[in-house]
Structure 1
Amino acid sequence: MNTRITDTDPLSPGTHSYRLAGLVQRYHVHGTGPVCVVHSGGPGIVWEYLRIPALEEHLTMVYVEPVGTAPDSRLPSHPHGYTRERYSGFLEILIERLRVPKVHLLGHSHGAFVAAYHALHRSGRLAGVVLYEGAPVTGSEHGAEAGRMVQAFAAKHAGHPGLPGVLAAFDAMSAMSNDEQTEAVAKGVLPSYFADFWGNEERLAPVRDAVRAVYISGLDEDGTPDMIDDRAALKELTVPALVVVGRHDVICGPRWGLELHDLIPDARLLILENSGHMGHLEEPQLFADGVRRFVLDTAPADSPA
């Protein structure tokens, strides 16, 4: 992999890296066209699962490796301290280094929470934001809805031999404390993150097996949870927004996508009817067409073609 510590062209294809606050920040550039910066989920899921070749045909996709997901990008307080404010601060420096007037920002899952925060607090270089499988809140309300959706998934697949493993992985989430446990849980719950994993297991099992994850606690350095409630703030969002949600998502499903759409002024909404949490893999062309149209409609006039 071609890694550059000093770059004359920050958008040349390949892997780029630089040092910031003693950490190495990497990002990966693929495709041509208007620039779309991509922040993956977790926190702690390694970025490759979110590679979107169908968008690379039309856009310059800049895939961020969120700090903490590589050994040389970990905070001294690791696994703590990875708040939205910190991710957003690193994002802002990266976007500035790209040397284009404005970019689009796409965040998936936890990355959508980060993208929403960035659009609310550091919108100056954003032409638009894509909130892909996000929600306006975390905490007990979000957890209760996820629990209800997981129960519905279990009822739908009652008797399937793979179901006990999925439910065991959900039960193990609260006890995660290291990278190995986190990766095992991520792979274990993944069948529930698709609309029909077991009906497409030959194609999707390699996706599950390729997932890599590191343990990030979700706590600030002082042990305070990084709780989220963006409902009031999102009503004042001025950045053009696209909300993308899969009809069968158990974690950040239609309830939250519809609420985000209703909260954000003039937001667009794309519901992927045959997807769960991974629409870019389940309905890749519909996903890519929706994001591409949004980016091209909202791109600055001087964006690269």
Structure 2
Amino acid sequence: MNTTNHSPGTGRPAEVAVGETRTVVVDGTRQVYRVAGAGPVCLVHSGGPGVHPEYLRMPGLHGGLTLVYLDPVGSGDSDPLPDGDYSMSRYAHFAEAVLDDVGAATGYFLGHSHGGFVALQFGLDHPERLDGLVLYDTAPVTGEELMTTATERMAAFVRRWPDRPEAAEAGRMWDSAHVARNLEITDDESHRRYLDGILPAYFADHRRTVEREGDFSPAVTHDPNRLPVRWDVRDRLGTIDVPALVVVGTHDFVCPPRFAYEMHAGMPDARLCELRDSGHFGHIEEADAFTAAVLDFVRETRQRGDRA
């Protein structure tokens, strides 16, 4: 494993071998990332926060992009942040360090869920480093408004599957955590049990997906020092003047389509892809459509760049 310090990008991403796992040290904190595929560089930032990133492997994209999969700080093999300051700009700072470490002056940034928050922040903080954004099942705001909408959507999910006990259990667990607030999440194991309990709501049809793909249970790191974050960039979307692809599943309960439409309408160079038979994990539920949308977006933006 290679360990380096934060240094400027050189524009030579081929220096990092495909399949390599690397570590860059930023302000004394280890940031791990893994490289796969071939083509233009694309940072991949998974959701959470704290969820390990293995669930966001997208082999269908490896033929058209060099995917640089981050283990976000506080998850996977990366270090936690000693001060608990997991702000979006802090995550974006670590992502920029990875872009530097792979030697790329610019790249695409694919952010899923919480990773999409980071992608938007990266677009605000470092637009000169971007070839484009893929904003995947995410939102331009966190906090109470997002949670209220998710709670309403969770109730709709439970009503949609009245004969499935796992749907009722997902609704019960969500309400315990976010409405009654009597569910204690204090360590990795209690956090994992909570995620496993609400997981069926993240899919358009959880049973069908499990039958086709197998069980899906992401690991999670619970950092008790993580400070609360409130973040809202809706009034700044118009300043993110880089090409953007907004991808959303029709049945996504936690980052529902209304927020995707808002990003699409608010950004000057955005296009929208709604996956009608997906929830929060379109790269699993409708892998072919997801892959085609992303690769078409990359081809389009690179052709525009060539013409420029």
**Same fold, TM-score > 0.5, yes or no:** yes
Segments ≥4 residues shifted beyond 4 Å: 216-219, 300-303
Evaluate the alpha carbon distance shift between residue 11 and residue 268 of structure 1 in structure 2; reply closer, same or farther with a 3 A threshold. farther
Which position in structure 2 is the counterpart of 1:5?
Answer: 3
Q: 1:149-228 alignment to 2 at 5 Å?
A: 149-173=153-177, 174=181, 175-208=184-217, 211-216=218-223, 219-220=226-227, 225-228=228-231
Q: 1:157 to 1:136 in 2, by over 3 A?
A: same
- Tell me, in whole angstroms, the C-alpha distance in 2 between the residues paired with 1:247 and 1:101: 35
Q: Residue 96 of structure 2 corresponds to which residue in structure 1?
A: 92
Q: Distance in 2 between matches of 1:292 and 1:246?
A: 18
Secondary structure of 1:206's aligned partner: coil
Q: Which runs of 5+ in 1 are unaligned?
A: none
Deviation, 1:100, is 2.1
Corresponding residue SS for 2:133? strand
Cα distance in 1 for partners of 2:131, 2:224 equals: 31
Structure 2: how far apart are the matches of 1:275 and 1:95?
A: 31
What is the DSSP-based 3-state SS (H/G/I as helix, E as strand, rest coil) of the residue aligned with 2:149? helix
| Equivalent of residue 133 in structure 2, options 129, 133, 150 | 129
Partner of 1:282: 285
Which ranges in structure 2 are unaligned for 5 or more consecutive residues? Answer: 6-13
Give the Å deviation of 1:266: 2.5
Distance 1:71 1:171, change over 3 A: farther
2:62 to 47, 56, 62: 56
What is the total number of aligned residue pairs between the two structures? 293
Match of 2:236 among 233, 238, 257: 233
Counterparts of 1:241 and 1:255, CA distance in 2: 17
Provide the rounded CA distance (Å) in 1 between the counterparts of 2:159 and 2:89.
38
Corresponding letter in the other structure for 1:198 = R
Q: CA RMSD in A?
A: 2.2
Question: Does the 8 A contact of 1:102 with 1:300 survive in 2?
Answer: no
Q: Which has the higher contact order (CA 8 A, sep 6+)?
A: 1
Which residue of 251, 256, 263 corresponds with 1:253? 256
Q: TM-score, normalised by structure 1?
A: 0.89
Q: Structure 1 counterpart of 2:263, which letter?
A: L
How much has 1:218 moved relative to structure 2? 9.1
Q: Distance in 1 between matches of 2:101 and 2:77?
A: 23
- Cα deviation for residue 172 of structure 1 reads 4.7
Percent identical among aligned pairs is 39
Q: CA deviation at 1:164?
A: 3.2
CA distance in 2, matches of 1:218, 1:251: 24
